[in-house]
Copies of this chain bind each other. A is one copy, B any other.
């Protein structure tokens, strides 16, 4: 179970392989990679030429670790890796990696999606897009709140 908040890019192949490396009881690795889209992240206006991710150092790591711990309490997991970048990113750049290893695919898929949903509403990151009209802060999406809420039954 490991969490990183960093400016640097990450290696999806190496991170995915590390989740099952040296163990023979992992049957399933589910991963998610989030990328910067050029088109209307805020739902309106022009193309995005770059984006800056601000975060709250210290709280970011704590919140991600708490989310991972909660996933570990809900499903049988053998490894979890979360990497979230901050700083300036360009369209097509990777933002976030979540990888989950488990004996069974159901647990791996559920935990991976759960971590992403919670991360979206609980981890203190904020996106500011650069557009031809200047910088604009991305609004939080109601869809993200609903996505997180469906895990609380």
Interface residues of chain A, those whose CB is within 8 Å of chain B, are 11-14, 16-17, 20, 23-39, 91-92, 103, 105-106, 108-109, 112-113, 116, 143, 147
Contact = CB atoms under 8 A, between A and B. Distances in A.
How many copies altogether? 2
A75 to B, nearest CB: 14
Given A13-B11, A14-B13, A37 B27 contact: yes
B28 A32 contact: yes
A5 to B, nearest CB: 19
Please report whether the interface of chain A is mostly helix, strand, loop or mixed according to DSSP: mixed
A37 B26 contact: yes
Given A11-B13, A14-B13, A92-B20, A33 B37 contact: no
Given A12-B17, A13-B13, A16-B13, A28 B24 contact: no
Given A13-B16, A31-B31, 20 more contacts: A12-B12, A12-B13, A13-B14, A16-B16, A16-B31, A16-B33, A20-B33, A20-B35, A20-B92, A24-B36, A24-B38, A25-B38, A25-B39, A26-B37, A29-B33, A30-B32, A34-B105, A39-B103, A106-B147, A109-B112
